[in-house]
Copies of this chain bind each other. A is one copy, B any other.
Amino acid sequence: MGRRSDHSREELCELALDAARRIVDEDGLSALTARKVAGAMGYAPGTLYNLFGNLDDLIVHLNARTLDDLCHRLSLNPGAGSPEEVLSRMLNAYLEFLTDHSSLWHLLFEHKLPDDKELPDWYARKVDKVLGLVENALSPLFAEDRQNQKRDAACVLWASLHGICSLYQTGKLSVVTSTSVREMTETLLANFIAGLRLSQGADGFVHT
């Protein structure tokens, strides 16, 4: 077999990523194999390695798409309101995605590159974008001269929510409590923000 030119290189990448997404969504992480992806797009396994360096590389690109998707969903329902209200709406969208595409979500976070490789810059920028949404929601809590603390707070909140979702999704929470993810994340949100309000000072005059 030789050159086919049924598809451009970009079309092939899209084909591969579409196939990969479908496979993960339908049959779970363990079903994502090079042979299966290649088969689903009607090509031989070797072709996949012309498009991506290896499976890890393909997964990073798939995760980038998932990140875009997630970011888009979180951006809907913008609306105004207190940080609690805004974040609660975002949480809705997040949990909905987690429920509907648990394997894609799982892949997004569970996947780890080998120690000697780092995530590319364009990927970091996508993560930044999501984090920016959280940051904006938290903005009213921080005085003008403390905006730099926003980012840390956003990171902490985001990572914490992730922890709850992660343990839930791997079945490690149900072993220990019957409380729903919904309730737990709301508990975190409420208490963490209450704490922030305090430490940032309701009117800027409490604590240092």
Contacts and interface: CB of A to CB of B under 8 A. Distances in A.
A177 B164 contact: no
Interface stretch (A70-78, A93-101, A150-158): A150-158
Nearest to A184: B156
Given A110-B110, A124-B176, 18 more contacts: A109-B166, A113-B171, A152-B177, A152-B187, A155-B173, A155-B184, A156-B164, A156-B187, A159-B164, A159-B168, A159-B173, A159-B184, A160-B164, A162-B163, A191-B191, A191-B198, A191-B199, A194-B199
Q: Which 8 A-B pairs have the closest CB atoms?
A: A163-B163, A191-B195, A160-B160, A194-B195, A195-B195, A162-B163, A159-B164, A124-B175
A196 interface: yes
Secondary structure call for the A interface: helix
A112 B160 CA distance: 20
A181 to B, nearest CB: 10
Contacts of A194: 191, 194-195, 198-199
A35 to B, nearest CB: 20
- Tally of this chain's copies: 2
A193 B191 CA distance: 7
A164 B172 CA distance: 16
Contact of A109 (B164, B170, B198): B170
B171 A162 contact: no
A170 B32 CA distance: 20
Interface residues of A, number: 48
29 contacts: A109-B166, A109-B167, A109-B170, A110-B110, A111-B170, A113-B171, A124-B176, A127-B172, A128-B176, A131-B176, A151-B177, A152-B179, A152-B184, A152-B187, A153-B191, A156-B164, A156-B187, A159-B163, A159-B168, A160-B160, A162-B163, A163-B164, A163-B165, A191-B192, A191-B195, A191-B196, A193-B195, A194-B199, A195-B198
